[in-house]
Structure 1
Amino acid sequence: MGHVRRSARQVNRVDRDLVIRSGQLPKTPADGWLMSLSRSANKSRLWFAIAVVLAAKKGKTRRAALRGVGAITFASVSANLVGKNLFPRRRPAAELLPEYRRLAKRPTSSSFPSGHAASAVAFATALGLERKGLGKVVAPVAGAVAYSRVHTGVHWPTDVLAGAAIGVGAAYATLHWWPLGPDAPAQSAHAAEVTAVEDGDGLLVLVNPNAGIAGEDATDVVKHRWPRATVVHPRPGADLIEQLSDELTAGPGDIRAIGVAGGDGSVAAVAAVAAEFRLPLVVVPAGTLNHFARDIGVDGIDAADAAVRAGDGVAVDLAGVDIEGAGIEGEAHRWFVNTASLGGYPEMVRLRERLEKRGWPKWPAAAVALHRSLRRAQPIRMSVDGRSHLVWWLFVGNGTYSPKGFVPTHRPVLDSGLLDVRYLRADVPYSRLRFVLATLTRTLHTSHVYRQRDLAELEVRLLDDVERRIATDGEVGPLGSRFRFRSRPSALAIYRPTEAG
């Protein structure tokens, strides 16, 4: 114990000496800049503002922003709620620094560790995990914020070092629940013979102007890149698959490929038509998340155009579900390129759409809808391949997803010929609590409340005379009581750049 006390006194002497030396630095314009920078980082406002800007750009930049916010949350809780309560410490005396460098409003909480440093380093490190370039750009700003806490006299140097260590740990802790996705797109071992197309000659493209962020209509971009293409828009109230089928049937017959500029729901509908008419599919990501485009390695119209001009393509799987219900004559069918689900997710999508119609932006609407749907969730009694279960939700993926925990993030391959089936059981005591604990500890794969299987086909029947809506690729489908899922191996030919394979 005496050794610990001597070490603590030595650290305090070093801290005091460094603060005094900092106070002896000559006055420069940087003093005012550091004070403003320090105040801008109060309650992480600076980092949240940067995150909002970064989130406007799709793909890895948006994921980096989200990871950064998650890291800030973890770092802030660790430093401010845990660290400061466990290690009370007085802040440096104001007299150690000249008056012009002192913050007008000094914090009153424990000095150890620095919450500002923790959040700053957490954010910069998390950005770097997703995109090294972003991390390098933000790191100097984060370092300046951390140093500003010593420069303005509200923290000892070791407070900042401890906060920085917490920040690094918080950023890497996000990998525990949200692993990094692979930089390479998903693979397919099945080549496809696709026709090279110049300037859109023989190309029919459906553009959904309502996809993605409001106001970003891809029509002009598509027409400029492919001036000889036939461009159509969804007809209000019409079934998209029927509309495109009519276009192909009644058209001049010179269509050699079909394209789509929209989100995953639009891609799924056009993919179904492409498979039916045995036409290769061109995907231009223009939605909010663009999961399918990301998986096939097409990050924009430049990549799509390069593949179309070169005639590069592969064959990938499609998945479908047949739906039976009291309000359906015979049965309905829906194709999906990514995922289908029963339970809380379809209800969340419906609530999100209602909020968007009231003028809510998409992301805040989705957050509110997710919170409300989870709070109101009711378990569903269903038969899964003949075995009865009480289930909170059911997830079916087109292909085998990774990781096998609660949040699947990517597909290693696009031609497995299998469905990724996951469901959360509600017939186990304390199922939701056990699910949360297993998710936090990443032991979900061994939990009795969670099931995951890879199957070529799956039949689900809802019991107790109930019907539920199914969601496919983020779009809400009809009410049904019986659902038959199946994979169609290598049913769809797509254009993708050779380097993406």
Structure 2
Amino acid sequence: MRLRSRLGRLDRRLFAAVAGAKLPGLERLVPALSRAADNSLLWAGLSGALAISGRRPMRRAATRGLLAVSLASPLVNLVGKQAFARNRPSPDGLPLARMVKMPVSASFPSGHSASAAAFATAVAMEAPGVVAAPVALLAAAVCFSRVYTGVHYPGDVLVGAAIGVATGLLTRRLWPQAMTGAPRVVTAPPVLGHDPEGRGVVAVINPAAGAGPDTATATMVRAWLPKAEVVEADGDDVPELMDEAAARARVLAVAGGDGTVNRGAQAALEHRRPLLVIPAGTLDHFAGALGLRDPEDAMAAYRSGGVVAVDVGEVAGRIFLNNAGLGVYPEMVDRREAVEQRVGKWPALLWALGRVLRTAEPDEVVIDGVPQRMWLLFVGNCRYDSRGAAPRLRRRLEDGLLDVRLLTAASRLPRLRAFTSVLLGGIGLSRHYQQWQADTLRVSSPSGALRLARDGETCTVPGEVEFTKRPRSLLVVRPVS
């Protein structure tokens, strides 16, 4: 208690020092900045500016920034303020020009500061320094403004900012950063007989992939490869367009997210064509595993002439490039897709997570002859690096293995702890978590049907399936090392 009293007195003295400071020329500017950050409108506007830049790192920074804010704001406002209920500072003595409307919520911690720090941290993880540094300075100015306008003590701001930084870093668990290098592939890359202007390339573009309608990718492909045939897909006709394009292409190029790339890979396999992946989705796990962070990387890979053979996984006659899963994974995808057209992908994902947390029940399955009551079964195409029931990064794409992660259900592992363990990368899973590698995996369900997710898309399959590998069966374009 003595330490708490000392910290409280120090907090009040610092507040008085800032409140008494006079910054010529900033008496009106700082309050205006503070108001601009109300309800995270400032960060939403910056996200929009980053997103329309057309550059892949900027779009990723915008998406990660909004994700960080959407996590930090409710954590502070719905949990932190309710738990501590600290009174706001007294505005007595502040100049009228500096004052803003006093919020009715508790003072500790600062929600504005949490959102500012979360957004700046997230942007710094994706954007170059020339963008991240001004955003960080702007976030620091917002934090300072909350004390300068008399609505927060410095301690409120510091703790809020610390929560924001932690939340920004936490987004790496939900959405990994873009990989800076390509995975190791042991097959020698043959030279791709290609035309520098794209003759023989048929590019299928899915404008609906990613955060919203995308016309920039098709424009870039036409500019880079003027002799290529560019086809813009429209909704449900993607599989048919892929098959037709692969039949007449020398190289099949696919621009979209992981689901679109999955369909392109299926067509490329059937017609034995090399696949050029152009990242244009929200997550782009497979493109990231190839070391392709943006469309510019894809064009550089094409021009380098490098082709490698990689593995694909297969289940119920359908392939997967990244992973397939049973249990809460397909349930979350189904719930997200039900609302994402109305609210956007990341808000829909958070809503789906909340719904599944309240309603999910374990599934009864038989895995390789052993009955299991499980929350989640993850089956990866090739071995993933990290431990946990939802890993994301791979260093090889042709090891011939399935990476199996199983999270079982028991009375000592309730729903909330199980989901927390998945999000935090396997912390505290103990004996309820199992991990192994295999070349085949058999799964059956007493119900007669299984809900399956593959590369972010779901389907219902018969109640007995086998996961297998097709080693080094898919040719993909990637830069020559």
Which structure 2 residue ranges, 5 or more long, are not aligned? 53-57
Q: Assess, with a 3 A threshold, how the Cα gap between structure 1 residues 455 and 68 changes in structure 2: closer, same or farther.
A: farther
Q: Determine whether 1:467 maps to 2:460.
A: no
Look up the equivalent residue of 2:274 and give its one-letter code: P
2:136 to 139, 142, 164: 139
2:304 to 310, 318, 326: 310
Q: Report if the CA contact (8 A) 1:268-1:337 is conserved.
A: yes
Q: Assess, with a 3 A threshold, how the Cα gap between structure 1 residues 19 and 286 changes in structure 2: closer, same or farther.
A: closer
Q: Assess, with a 3 A threshold, how the Cα gap between structure 1 residues 91 and 419 changes in structure 2: closer, same or farther.
A: same
Residue matched to 1:329: none
Which structure's CA Rg is the greater one? 1
How far 1:396 sits from its partner (Å)? 1.3
Look up the equivalent residue of 1:435 and give its one-letter code: A
How far 1:41 sits from its partner (Å)? 2.5
**Superposed, which structure 2 residues align to 1:334-483 within 5 Å?**
334-355=318-339, 361-373=344-356, 375-436=358-419, 438-439=421-422, 444=427, 446-463=429-446, 465-483=447-465
* C-alpha distance in structure 2 between counterparts of 1:131 and 1:353, whole Å: 28
Look up the equivalent residue of 1:259 and give its one-letter code: A
Match of 1:448, SS? helix
Residue matched to 2:64: 63
1:110-145 deviations in Å (ceiling 9; x for gaps): 655544334423432343244453431212212222
Residue matched to 1:191: 188
Look up the equivalent residue of 1:336 and give its one-letter code: F
Number of aligned residue pairs: give it.
473
* C-alpha distance in structure 2 between counterparts of 1:288 and 1:261, whole Å: 12
How far 1:161 sits from its partner (Å)? 4.3
How far 1:245 sits from its partner (Å)? 5.5
How far 1:416 sits from its partner (Å)? 2.4
How far 1:487 sits from its partner (Å)? 1.9
* C-alpha distance in structure 2 between counterparts of 1:391 and 1:292, whole Å: 27
How far 1:400 sits from its partner (Å)? 1.9
How far 1:387 sits from its partner (Å)? 0.9
How far 1:384 sits from its partner (Å)? 0.8
How far 1:306 sits from its partner (Å)? 2.3
Q: Report if the CA contact (8 A) 1:72-1:123 is conserved.
A: no
Residue matched to 2:55: none
* C-alpha distance in structure 2 between counterparts of 1:360 and 1:338, whole Å: 26
Q: Determine whether 1:215 maps to 2:213.
A: yes
The percent identity for this pair of structures is: 38
Q: Assess, with a 3 A threshold, how the Cα gap between structure 1 residues 79 and 174 changes in structure 2: closer, same or farther.
A: farther
Normalised to the residue count of structure 2, the TM-score between the two structures is: 0.82
Q: Assess, with a 3 A threshold, how the Cα gap between structure 1 residues 172 and 203 changes in structure 2: closer, same or farther.
A: closer
Q: Report if the CA contact (8 A) 1:344-1:374 is conserved.
A: no
**Superposed, which structure 2 residues align to 1:212-361 within 5 Å?**
212-217=210-215, 218-232=217-231, 240=239, 255-321=249-315, 323=316, 333-355=317-339, 361=344
Residue matched to 1:46: 42
* C-alpha distance in structure 1 between counterparts of 2:45 and 2:343, whole Å: 19
Look up the equivalent residue of 1:99 and give its one-letter code: L
Q: Report if the CA contact (8 A) 2:68-2:118 is conserved.
A: no
Deviates more, 1:284-293 or 1:367-376: 367-376
Q: Assess, with a 3 A threshold, how the Cα gap between structure 1 residues 72 and 363 changes in structure 2: closer, same or farther.
A: closer
How far 1:297 sits from its partner (Å)? 2.0
Look up the equivalent residue of 1:287 and give its one-letter code: G
Q: Report if the CA contact (8 A) 2:378-2:390 is conserved.
A: no
* C-alpha distance in structure 2 between counterparts of 1:227 and 1:4, whole Å: 68
* C-alpha distance in structure 1 between counterparts of 2:283 and 2:44, whole Å: 21
1:117 to 102, 113, 118: 113
Deviates more, 1:167-176 or 1:271-280: 167-176
